[in-house]
């Protein structure tokens, strides 16, 4: 039977094989880790993975993708809505600080946890890097 810790180890193994650096999150109630990236359009993006205790599911989320000034909240919400229609692997949202983030959930197939998590990581960073351009155009358009 799969465990949260076992799933974390499987993902860490997949990251190690690809020489991707990560950091386990201390103090989390469930096994979790953070991976930081420098992307083409985003200077820094953190992606977090939390492995549920049931051993079959996990949650993943980004750090801040962009920030919308108070006077651009309406434009940011429209942009986030556009992204939620365009991309199915992530749900984008505007938080209480007007930061734009994204998250998702996944069921983990027992034999391919590491590869599944790696694929979700790659989709997340690629989608966010592409989405950033759209966000900036929508937020800063006159």
CATH number where 83 lies:
3.30.1460.70
Q: Would you state the pLDDT for residue 75?
A: 95
Q: Would you state the pLDDT for residue 142?
A: 62
CB 87 within 8 A of CB 80: no
Task: State yes or no: pLDDT of 15 exceeds 80.
Answer: yes
Q: Give the domain extent around 83.
A: 4-140
pTM exceeds 0.85? yes
What is the chain's mean pLDDT, rounded?
A: 95
The pLDDT tens digits for 32-80 are 999 999 999 999 999 999 999 999 999 999 999 999 999 999 999 999 9
pLDDT band, very low/low/confident/very high, at 12 (cuts 50, 70, 90):
very high
Q: How many domains does the chain fold into?
A: 1
């Amino acid at each position: 039977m799969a465990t949260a810790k076992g799933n974390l180890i499987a993902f860490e193994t997949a990251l190690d094989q690809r020489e991707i650096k990560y950091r386990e999150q201390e103090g989390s109630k469930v096994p979790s880790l953070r991976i930081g990236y420098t992307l083409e359009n985003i200077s820094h993006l953190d992606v977090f993975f939390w492995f549920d205790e049931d051993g079959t599911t996990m949650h993943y989320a980004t750090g801040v993708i962009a920030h919308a000034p108070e006077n651009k909240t309406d434009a940011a919400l429209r942009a986030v809505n556009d992204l939620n229609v365009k991309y199915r692997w992530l749900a984008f949202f505007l938080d209480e600080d007007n930061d734009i983030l994204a998250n998702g959930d996944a069921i983990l197939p027992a034999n391919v946890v590491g590869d599944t998590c790696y694929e979700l990581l790659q989709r997340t960073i690629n989608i966010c890097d592409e989405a950033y351009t759209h966000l900036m155009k929508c937020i800063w358009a006159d």
